[in-house]
Structure 1
Amino acid sequence: MTRPVPMAELWRGALLESVHMGHAVVCDSSGQVVRSWGDPGLVMYPRSSSKMIQALPLLSSGAAAKYGLGTEQMALACASHNGAAIHTHRVNDWLEQLGLDDHDLRCGPQDPDDRPEHERLIRAFESPCQVHNNCSGKHAGFLTLGRHLEAGAEYHEIDHPVQQAALAAFEEVTGEASAGYGIDGCSAPNFATSLTGLARAMAWFASARDRSDRQSQAAAQLTEAMMKHPELVAGEGRACTELMRAMNGRAAIKTGAEAVFVAILPEQRLGVALKIVDGATRASECAIAAILVGLGVLDPADPATRKRLDAPILNRRGIDCGRIRATAEMRF
């Protein structure tokens, strides 16, 4: 097996203090690997980077059209959001439209990463709800599909029609039989694939406009919704939101737990997938920024890029102590 390669490094003063190793793959619309780092055959969990795939049956089944879902709901179905008011209000409205509420979700409560909402809950002596969970949009999508299929309430279970539809879509777009599944942080199954399979899926999304089948039409709609509403996909200060804004419709990107990142590049019909071995988010954000710069869709001088690709390390007094930067291996 090919070893991981250095992808991001932290310099303090004149010394290299830390190195993050990882793997990455770029695939074209035919599913072929056009560039790779480390082991393209690495079997891994995509975690939340696969939410666009999990959302495919929501659209291709006709459920989204039946319930009148717009681009905001589509973006939220792909989101790992901060639990800010712009997220929770929209998910609550979505649930109300279905005649459901917070108790019907199966993702579990989560303290919101959004500071204003976190502080509001404290002042109001309220506990976080499931709608604050970063995956509540995905789960609202699951509930919508479950309602459309007239299936049971436990939509998160592996043998439920919702999850079987998600598995079928996952294997179709990765071009592989899944190696199995693990239970994600939000209680839904997360299907394993190779890193190449994940990049192949993203390239399939990127070239979706070239095809007319329902699954491809769904992929194109989800990609466009993400690029139209980057603030709903993550939130203020987050890499997905800031980098998509910086690319201005040239790519849709999505993070996943344990330092996974993917990118969909419709103009070039390319898909990207990467995984940092030690699970460090700072490294996955740095590496994906380097790849996007190398592929010509992200300006290296944009503040959102420099915040990740050549990020200053500041101490508690605001003194610049060093840099997190991409390694030479990641520079095109």
Structure 2
Amino acid sequence: MTQTFTVSSAVELAVVERSGFVESRHSGSAIVLDPEGVVLESLGDVDSPILPRSSLKPLQALGCVTAGAALDGERLALATASHSGTDRHVAVVRDILDAAGLDESALQCPPAWPGDAPTRDDLVRRGEGPSRVRMNCSGKHAAMLLACTSAGWDPASYLDPAHPLQAHIREVVERLTGARVSATAVDGCGAPVYGMSLTALVRALHRIGTASERSPFALHRSAGTLVRAVRENPWTIDGPGRPDTIAIERLGVFAKGGAEGVMVMVAPDGTTTALKVLDGSGRAATAIALALLEKHGALAAADVAATMAQLPLPVLGGGREVGAIRPTV
């Protein structure tokens, strides 16, 4: 059985402090590259495989684009998103499906409630339930369907790892990471997700985050367009008041969290970090990534502090703030 790194090879990345008492510790691994792609810092085991989960979505979106999906602006950003299911998100997903000549019944992600609480409350009041289009990965799935119809591939089996689209996405993943996929698993949304080291993942995100839309290489041009689309439409990638959106809006980073404590982030100058919190909790992941980028001079301390203040990091006691989740990197 393929496994990720162990507790003994992890390091402390963050603590949870309550009334001056360190109540919990989050350990994991992380790596930082400078704007030229040189390793600045490596914490813990960055060479054992991880499953990047939704942090793989930028690579999957590029696979869809290079397979023929005509995506730009909000639609391209939504293809990269783990969105909160607001009506605005859903409208873009439906627009992608319309371009594919398909409707919501073609989506094979599981039905879900929106992550956005006001939207969920509104659905309950209207007597509606979970739906596939509200699922946070529906943008990725819609993009996959558009790639299939554009390339003339069967959309009914688009999640099969042997499907031409998934084979193409895997090839794009290996081109961007510079490494062979170490394992194939089924993600929470039903799509294939590929095992790779944090070193491979950070190299892929560095290539994406520093790509130019004027590159002679089509994949790099598409990557540059994707990064611009996300930075220009930060609401798409996550949702109002949610960590990825806050970080992109306030700091201009390219950020993409993944389930089980994975986070990738590229600063405007190209400094890039990738990390995994070993216990699978993502509550500290954004703060850890910001702290690492600040530590290496890619983000200003005052700007990071102001952004941290907007994240859900406070620890409450009796309804008042008595502590915080705090990075220790």
TM-score, normalised with respect to structure 1: 0.91
* Identity score, percent: 35
In structure 1, the residue matched to 2:320 is: 319
1:48-105 superposed Cα distances (whole Å, 9 cap, x missing partner): 00100001122223431xxxx3310000000000001110111112212322111101
Pick aligned residue for 1:17 from 20, 23, 26? 23
Quote the residue 1:288 is aligned against: 289
- Which residue does the alignment assign to 2:136? 134
The aligned counterpart of 2:196 is: 193
Q: How does 1:39-54 map to 2 (within 5 A)?
A: 39-54=45-60
Range 293-302 or range 254-263, more displaced: 293-302
- Aligned match of 2:208: 205
Aligned equivalents of 1:205, 1:15: Cα separation in 2: 41
Cα offset, 1:274, TM superposition: 0.3
Q: Is the 8 A contact 2:11 2:27 kept in 1?
A: yes
Matched, 1:234 2:238: yes
Q: 2:173 aligns with which of 170, 173, 187?
A: 170
Equivalent residue number for residue 272 of structure 1:
273
Aligned positions, number: 319
Which shifted more, 204-213 or 84-93? 204-213
Contact 2:83–2:239 (8 Å) recurs in 1: yes
Question: What displacement does 1:299 show?
Answer: 4.5
> What is the DSSP-based 3-state SS (H/G/I as helix, E as strand, rest coil) of the residue aligned with 2:287?
helix
- Give the superposition deviation at 1:200: 0.6
CA apart distance, 1:212: 1.9
Deviation, structure 1 residue 265: 3.0
Structure 2: how far apart are the matches of 1:289 and 1:27?
A: 14
User: Following the alignment from structure 1 to structure 2, what is the Cα–Cα distance between the partners of residues 218 and 36?
Assistant: 29
* Matched residue type, 1:3: S
Match of 1:180 in 2: 183
Using the TM superposition, give the Cα deviation of residue 283 of structure 1 relative to its aligned residue in structure 2, in angstroms: 2.0
- 8 Å contact 1:246–1:298 — kept in the other structure? no
Task: Give the secondary-structure state (helix, strand or coil) at the position aligned to 1:281.
Answer: coil
| More off after superposition, 6-15 vs 103-112 | 6-15
How far does residue 29 in structure 1 lie from its aligned partner after superposition?
Answer: 6.0
Choose from 18, 21, 26 the match for 2:32. 26
How far the C-alpha of 1:191 sits from its partner, in A, is: 0.4
Letter in 1 for 2:83: H
TM-score normalized by the length of structure 2: 0.92
Judge conservation of contact 1:259–1:281 (CA < 8 Å) in 2. yes
Q: Residue 293 of structure 2 aligns to a residue in which SS?
A: helix
Q: Unmatched 5+ residue regions in structure 2?
A: none
| RMSD (Å) for aligned C-alpha atoms | 1.8
What SS is found at the alignment partner of 1:63?
coil
SS at match of 1:140: helix
Superposition deviation, residue 292 in structure 1: 2.8
- CA distance in 2 between partners of 1:216 and 1:262 (Å): 18
In structure 1, runs of 5+ residues without a counterpart are none
Q: Is the 8 A contact 1:28 1:200 kept in 2?
A: no
Partners of 1:194 and 1:314 lie apart in 2 by 36
SS in 2 for 1:192: strand
Distance 1:114 1:45 in 2: 26
CA distance in 2, matches of 1:266, 1:61: 28
Partner SS, residue 16 of structure 2: strand
1:122 to 121, 124, 127: 124
Contact kept, 8 Å, 2:72 with 2:225, in 1: the verdict is no
- Asked if 2 retains the 8 angstrom alpha-carbon contact of 1:293 and 1:300, the reply is no
Q: 1:292 to 1:270 in 2, by over 3 A?
A: closer
* 1:146 aligned counterpart, secondary structure: helix
8 Å contact kept, 1:202–1:270: no
Q: Is the 8 A contact 1:32 1:200 kept in 2?
A: no
Cα gap change, 1:266 to 1:14, in 2 (>3 Å): closer
Q: Distance in 2 between matches of 1:43 and 1:199?
A: 13
d(CA) in 1 for partners of 2:48, 2:273: 14
Q: Is the 8 A contact 2:13 2:288 kept in 1?
A: yes
Bigger CA drift: 185-194 or 199-208? 199-208
Residues 252, 298 of structure 1: alpha-carbon distance in 2 compared, 3 angstrom cutoff: farther
Conserved? CA contact 1:254–1:261, under 8 Å: yes
